[in-house]
Amino acid sequence: MNLKKWIALGLTGCFLFSGCAEQREQAQTALENSQQENRHEATSFAMDTVMTFTVIHEDGEELIIDAEQEIRRLENLLSVTLDGSEIKQINENAGKEPVRIPTEILELLQTSKDLGTETGNAFDIAIYPIVKAWGFTEEEQSVPPQETIDQLLPLTDLNDLILDKENSTAYLEKEGMAVDLGGIAKGYASDSVKALLKGKGVESALLSLGGNICTIGNKPDGSPWKAVVQNPLDANDYVGLLEISDTCVITSGGYQRYFEENGKQYHHIINPATGWPAESGLLSVTIVCDSGTKADALSTALFVMGLEDALEYWKTQDDFEAIFVTTDGEVVATEGLKDSFTFEGKDNDFTYRMAER
Ligand code: ADP
Ligand code: MG
């Protein structure tokens, strides 16, 4: 394995100490030892993905348990498949009656709806009937008949999700409708865990939720955390490195979940305008944003939009940056990443450019 691959595998969450002058060595070693003692890491499986939490804090071990509990709490509320989840109850009562839900869920649904409107419906949490028809929540996937897609599309309109703040209820107006927070829940969960840990005094942490990264502060040595932007065509390779402090890096890509039928690949990010997997000329979209919730929704939405529309949208916003990998082998980073993104895809014939406002 070449050096680049080793770095790709080992970088997330590991500390890279640079060599230091001899006179500083002792102090440095002492510092490293105390940092290592305070460095706690645990991996678990939740929300259908592998999560690794690295927390630098003397109570790190307990704090990670708290973080994992928070994830389970959210999973029980937000899962579209777990019996009894608030989301499942809303879906089961579609076309029947409004369901009372905690304010927290109401707010997340409202945020999801707003992001849907802002992105011209590229992000649509009411897409679930179509996601189901493709089998992405089942064991078996297959291309559904066009007739089925045509019948289901009218059930994916976000305007038919009625949120009533006063009574704290959510209502899907048509029978057969269903909401699915799969495109935003992990980002939201990382924000919640981040807030929880910060509230308990954590000043340095790295949260990886299925490869989506959210960080608190910097590494204990004061340098920024590093996140890799994966090569969508090779899980052991990357097209670039990001240096980040106290922010989130979230990627959506067709390569993450897909099936093959008659030699063609069909992935799990659906274009709500057609009901088919989005074919927008992109292999992946990585969003860098302080809000994990927004980063997650936007990674899905901008993937659907395609490069041109996504860049137009980015120009209207000032709270996120993005890295796109196109099917033509181009890596495009937005200009706010000028100092933090390093392109590393040249060996694999990727080309690179920076997009300006
Ligand atoms: P992942 O969760 O695999 O990291 P995403 O954040 O892009 O990837 O979310 C994809 C999931 O979101 C799909 O599995 C599906 O449940 C749901 N989804 C698919 N298409 C859309 C869409 N256009 N808008 C909102 N959610 C979507
Ligand atoms: Mg997403």
Side by side, the strands of the sheet bearing 99-100 are 99-100, 169-172, 161-164
pLDDT of residue 34: 67
pLDDT of residue 255: 86
Whether residue 322 is predicted with pLDDT greater than 70 in this model: the reply is: yes
Mean per-residue pLDDT for 275-279? 97
Q: Ligand 1: distance of its center to the CA of 207 in Å?
A: 20
* Band (344; pLDDT cuts 50, 70, 90): very high
Instruction: Provide the mean pLDDT of the chain.
Output: 92
pLDDT of residue 18: 37
Whether residue 4 is predicted with pLDDT greater than 60 in this model: the reply is: no
Per-residue pLDDT tens digits for 221-264: 999 999 999 999 999 999 999 999 999 999 999 888 899 999 99
Whether residue 351 is predicted with pLDDT greater than 70 in this model: the reply is: yes
**Residues with Cβ within 8 Å of residue 51, at least 6 apart in sequence:** 43, 44, 45, 68, 71, 207, 208, 209, 210
Mean per-residue pLDDT for 112-124? 98
> Whole-angstrom Cα distance, residue 8 to residue 69?
29
Ligand at shortest distance from the CA of 230: 1
Every domain of the chain with CATH number 1.10.3980.10 lies at 78-172
CATH class belonging to 78-172: mainly alpha
Q: Atom of ligand 1 at shortest distance to CA of 297? A: 6
Whether residue 303 is predicted with pLDDT greater than 60 in this model: the reply is: yes
Q: Ligand 2: distance of its center to the CA of 300 in Å?
A: 4
Whether residue 116 is predicted with pLDDT greater than 60 in this model: the reply is: yes
Q: Atom of ligand 1 at shortest distance to CA of 212? A: 4
Whether residue 15 is predicted with pLDDT greater than 50 in this model: the reply is: no
Mean per-residue pLDDT for 330-338? 98
Q: Ligand 2: distance of its center to the CA of 298 in Å?
A: 6
The binding-site residues of ligand 1, defined as CB within 6 angstroms of any ligand atom, are 123-125, 127, 131, 136, 180, 182-183, 186, 210, 252, 256-257, 268-270, 272, 296, 299-300, 304
Protein residue with its CA nearest to atom 26 in ligand 1: 183
Protein residue with its CA nearest to atom 27 in ligand 1: 183
Q: Which CATH number fits domain 42-72+184-355: 3.10.310.70, 3.40.50.300, 3.40.50.150, 3.10.520.10?
A: 3.10.520.10
> Whole-angstrom Cα distance, residue 277 to residue 268?
6
Question: 216 φ, ψ to 5°?
Answer: -110, 130
**Residues with Cβ within 8 Å of residue 176, at least 6 apart in sequence:** 94, 95, 129, 152, 155
Whether residue 29 is predicted with pLDDT greater than 80 in this model: the reply is: no
What is the value of pTM for the model shown? 0.91
pLDDT of residue 9: 47
Every domain of the chain with CATH number 3.10.520.10 lies at 42-72+184-355
Q: Atom of ligand 1 at shortest distance to CA of 136? A: 14
Per-residue pLDDT tens digits for 167-223: 999 999 999 999 999 999 999 999 999 999 999 999 999 999 998 999 999 999 999
Q: Ligand 1: distance of its center to the CA of 183 in Å?
A: 4
Q: Which two tokens stand for residue 27?
A: 């102090």
Whether residue 10 is predicted with pLDDT greater than 50 in this model: the reply is: no
